[in-house]
Amino acid sequence: MITLITNQSGKCGWSRIEWLNSFSGRKVPEVKDPEERGFDAEFLLNEAKRAGTFAYVPYSLFPVGAAILFEDGSVISGCNVENSSYGLSICAERNAMTTAVREGRLKPVAIAIAGGSKGKICPPCGACRQFLSEFNSDMSVVLEEDGRPVIYRLSDLLPLQFKFPKIGETKNDE
């Protein structure tokens, strides 16, 4: 027996966010107005696309680029870099953020991620969501779906982040 799953509008196939919502039992809210977050989402998405052109992906052929906007207005980008020992590969998001740390930028406000099949959303993996939440769990995450930028909050994509207190912090300090 084959069960055909359709989305709420009756079409076959779901967006990644619809798919996530269908299993989690919760709604991941999209930020409706990109201007609400105070940055140019299309510019940031284009920077991510440009970074993705430098990806080293001889195994998956799945290039991804990321561009992170910081409080001071600077943008740092990164791309995924694969290794034949797959566990040693690095995602574009972590590549960009580790470069930012090296440059002393620790306060990201938004990240754009672009990659994969044209028109399909390319969300950050779970490891990148957790990694980025260390720096700002409320940052905006800009993705492209059907040729337009869509914006989510990282805290909505990772509702229960792991957070270990830093030395000197107590639960009351949070």
What is the set of active-site residues?
93
Q: How far is CA 93 from CA 4, 12, 52, 171, in A?
A: 34, 30, 11, 29
Q: For residue 80, which of 143, 124, 17, 146 has the smallest C-alpha distance?
A: 124
Strand-by-strand arrangement of the 75-79 sheet = 30-31, 148-153, 140-145, 108-115, 64-70, 75-79
Amino acid at 158: L
Amino acid at 17: I
The alpha-helical segments, DSSP class H, found in the chain are 16-24, 41-52, 92-102, 126-133, 154-157
Q: Quick check: 166 and 36 in contact, CB under 8 A?
A: no
Angle CA(145)–CA(42)–CA(31) in degrees, nearest 5? 60
Task: With both helix axes pointing from N to C terminus, report the angle between 92-102 and 41-52 in degrees, rounded to the nearest 10.
Answer: 100
